[in-house]
Amino acid sequence: MNKLNDAVTYVKERMPREELKLETYITTDNLKQNKGGKENAISLPPSGNTFPAYSKNDILIGNIRPYLRKIWFADSSGGHSADVLNLRVNKGICPRFIYYNCFQNEFFDHMMKGSKGSKMPRGDKNQILTFPIPDYSYNYQQQIAKVLSDLDNKIEVNIKINMELEAMAKLIYDYWFVQFDFPNKNGKPYKSSGGKMVYNKELKLVIPEGWEVKPLTEEMDLQYGFPFSTKLFNEEENGVPVIRIRDIQNGSISYHSTEDVDEKYRLNKGDVLVGMDGNFHINYWNLENCYLNQRCLRIRSKSNSISEIQARYMIEPFIKAREKNVSRTTVGHLSAKDINDLKIIVAHPELQSKANKLFNSILKKIISSREENQRLGELRDWLLPMLMNGQIKVVQTEKDTLKELFPDVNLYAEVAALQFLDKKANSLSHGKTYIQKAMSHLKDIKREKRLKHIEFEEYHWGMFSKTVAKSIDSNPFLYQETTPNGKKVYKVKANKMKELITWMALQENQGFVKSVEELIALYQEPLIGNDIDRIELLNTVHRCMTKLNSDKLVDIRKEMQEWPMKENSYKNKAEKFTENETLHMIGFIKELLVK
């Protein structure tokens, strides 16, 4: 066995305060407990000239109260606070292998043994480096890291799926219960189509006629937590799991208790939990046989009430506003009066029933993904120490050479991802010609590797690929729809949405997804403005420049004259696009290629 000291060094690099960003600034506040990674910082330090810096593949560890188990494997570069330790792995050692060594509970127990201070213990930097590390070859380190990373990648996929599901639920909620543009009897948005609205004195706003306003306490089943004695808390899992405020955000269990507790404090899957001290965390619960601690609130649907999702979205703005109004020098508290004052809106029975079915279906999927993540996390944590101490060996299998020699060439998911991301960014759906042009740009402008061997040829409206055409016509993710003006567009099937989002979230597809997002942003540039003709001009000029290896206007225009067309009596591309338009596009592409 080696020591951690043989594998890492503490990073001493620094960066100017002006270069700090919320997305990449790491403190003990935005490192998540129980090895939950990190979230974006909510503020940057107001003073100081320079700050500690980290780079991609560094290991960042919270050094205040090590028992909170805060750790993150950096996937970018940025800055961090002084209370975060930054370990950089030495050359010749697999960074993720060392990360997973530090990911073990035993590592944080080791930190606590050497920590100093009682109320706010801090790890001892020298003692931390004495943690034992197994002495494996570099190749075997990589194999262990891959086994564990594959599990973490699946967990990350589920997290991203849930983010999309919650975004979908929030979108429906905003349309129906904030903007009041739910579908009326004719399928049109209610308020925007002149639906009758009435003023409500309690909310001091207009709501649809026939809707009700009720106290939260009347509509939902509420229960405050039990006052467990902290003296009976234990980490040996004796007794029942106790859910405290700190557990709500991550859906974790920190302590058990042997104290007798009434069943009314027992939690169900899908309950909404609210922390009532400090940060007023709100989250859905997904674990069985857990009991709620004091200063926490449980919200549950009744048989004929609104759903938990709707209740959460209705009360969350008021609770967060209350949280913001608390002075930074004091700890915020939610009182029973605050809860009693909360009001919710109930739609007419037919619409409310429809909303409940939608929201309950989404919540069921969210809980299911979280449960799968719980199982995957438990499997990872069970495997981790045994892989490190050699109780379990990684067996390397032979590659499937037949699959490498005869790959199934289709771009079903890639084409569907293009349509999905464009719809998400611009609320637009497109037809075949747009897809062909965009895919050729992904190959030639974005240099997307997976399109390297896809052949494109000149067609009257732009670049065309038989492989792309096949991937559109027989695409299992898409269906064709005819717009009111007769245009045929492609959209992602609702029952294929989860599968597509899962595909996009896989690490191996992240590069392609990023290329598509960058291309969509490129199409939004002022010179193009998401105009299909501008995209065609980009397609045309770039093809000519590549084919001729020239950026001279006279050469490009001559080649455009040789490119025949079948549109609106234009004989060729040079007739459709003027010299001035072509010149501007040449400049745009040259600048683009420099970037």
pLDDT tier for residue 591 given thresholds of 50, 70 and 90: confident
Q: Are 247 and 253 in contact (CB under 8 A)?
A: yes
Which strand (E) or helix (H) includes residue 461?
none
Rounded Cα gap, residues 251 and 254, in angstroms: 10
What average pLDDT does this structure show over 324-336? 75
Rounded Cα gap, residues 3 and 126, in angstroms: 11
- pLDDT value of position 406: 33
Is 330 a residue whose pLDDT tops 80? no
Residues 315 and 423 in one domain: no
pLDDT in tens, 160-175: 999 999 999 999 999 9
Domain of 327, CATH number, reads 3.90.220.20
Is 401 a residue whose pLDDT tops 50? no
Flag whether 168 is in a domain. no
Q: For residue 174, how far is the Cα from the chain centroid?
A: 20
Residue 517 contacts by C-beta under 8 Å, 6 or more apart in sequence? Answer: 421, 425
- pLDDT value of position 592: 76
Helix, strand, coil fractions of the chain, as percent rounded to 5: 45, 20, 35
The domain in which residue 119 lies consists of: 2-135
Q: CA 376, 381, 387, 391: dihedral to nearest 10 degrees?
A: -110
Strand partners, 492: 478
Flag whether 382 is in a domain. no
What spatial distance separates the first Cα and last Cα of the chain, rounded to whole Å? 48
pLDDT in tens, 367-376: 999 999 999 9
pLDDT in tens, 217-238: 999 999 999 999 999 999 888 9
Helices in 138-183 by DSSP H: which ranges? Answer: 138-173
Q: Letter for the amino acid at 271?
A: D
Q: At what angle do helices 95-103 and 349-389 cross, to 10 degrees?
A: 100
- pLDDT value of position 539: 85
Flag whether 405 is in a domain. no
Q: Which of 135, 160, 192 is the last residue of a domain?
A: 135
Q: Any idea what the Cα angle at residue 566 is, between residues 563 and 570, rounded to 5°?
A: 75
Cα–Cα distances in Å, from 554 out to 535, 557, 561, 578, 582?
21, 5, 11, 12, 10
Flag whether 373 is in a domain. no
Cα–Cα distances in Å, from 508 out to 138, 504, 511?
22, 9, 7
Residues 131 and 29 in one domain: yes
Tokens (6 digits) for 590: 């040259």
Residues 447 and 326 in one domain: no
Residues 101 and 12 in one domain: yes
- pLDDT value of position 403: 36
Residues 554 and 452 in one domain: yes
Is 198 a residue whose pLDDT tops 70? yes
Flag whether 404 is in a domain. no
Query: What phi and psi values does residue 2 have, to the nearest 5 degrees?
Result: -100, 180
Q: CA 14, 20, 26, 27: dihedral to nearest 10 degrees?
A: 90
pLDDT averaged over every residue in the chain = 90
Rounded Cα gap, residues 382 and 35, in angstroms: 15
Cα–Cα distances in Å, from 317 out to 42, 206, 250, 342?
17, 18, 20, 11
Residues 36 and 118 in one domain: yes
Q: At what angle do helices 466-473 and 412-426 cross, to 10 degrees?
A: 70
Helix (H, G, I), strand (E, B) or coil at 329: coil
Residues 430 and 574 in one domain: yes
**390 Rama sector, left if φ>0, alpha if ψ -120 to 50, beta otherwise:** left
> By C-alpha distance, which of 211, 247, 243 is closest to 224?
243
Rounded Cα gap, residues 99 and 152, in angstroms: 13
Residues 25 and 129 in one domain: yes
Q: CA 275, 279, 283, 287: dihedral to nearest 10 degrees?
A: -60
Is 1 a residue whose pLDDT tops 70? no
pLDDT in tens, 277-287: 987 899 999 99
Helix (H, G, I), strand (E, B) or coil at 518: helix
- pLDDT value of position 428: 80
- pLDDT value of position 322: 86
Eight-class DSSP state of 276:
-
Q: Are 2 and 132 in contact (CB under 8 A)?
A: yes
Which has the minimum average pLDDT: 86-90, 311-315, 458-462? Answer: 458-462
Residue 285 contacts by C-beta under 8 Å, 6 or more apart in sequence? Answer: 243, 248, 251, 267, 268, 269, 270, 271, 272, 273, 298
Residues 461 and 574 in one domain: yes
Q: Which of 112, 135, 158 is the last residue of a domain?
A: 135
Residues 510 and 434 in one domain: yes
Residues 325 and 426 in one domain: no
Q: Which of 346, 376, 393 is the last residue of a domain?
A: 346
Tokens (6 digits) for 568: 């609106």
The strand ranges marked E within 453-496 are: 457-459, 462-464, 478-482, 488-492
- pLDDT value of position 26: 98
Flag whether 501 is in a domain. yes
Q: Are 416 and 439 in contact (CB under 8 A)?
A: no
Residues 524 and 436 in one domain: yes
Which residue's structure tokens are 């000029």? Answer: 541
**486 Rama sector, left if φ>0, alpha if ψ -120 to 50, beta otherwise:** left
- How much of the chain, in percent, has pLDDT values that exceed 70? 96
Which has the minimum average pLDDT: 14-28, 186-200, 220-234, 414-428? Answer: 414-428
pLDDT tier for residue 459 given thresholds of 50, 70 and 90: confident
Rounded Cα gap, residues 586 and 557, in angstroms: 11
Q: How many domains does the chain have?
A: 3
Flag whether 258 is in a domain. yes
Rounded Cα gap, residues 396 and 456, in angstroms: 39
Rounded Cα gap, residues 282 and 288, in angstroms: 18
Strand partners, 122: 64, 116
Flag whether 180 is in a domain. no
Tokens (6 digits) for 109: 């127990």
Q: Are 472 and 435 in contact (CB under 8 A)?
A: yes
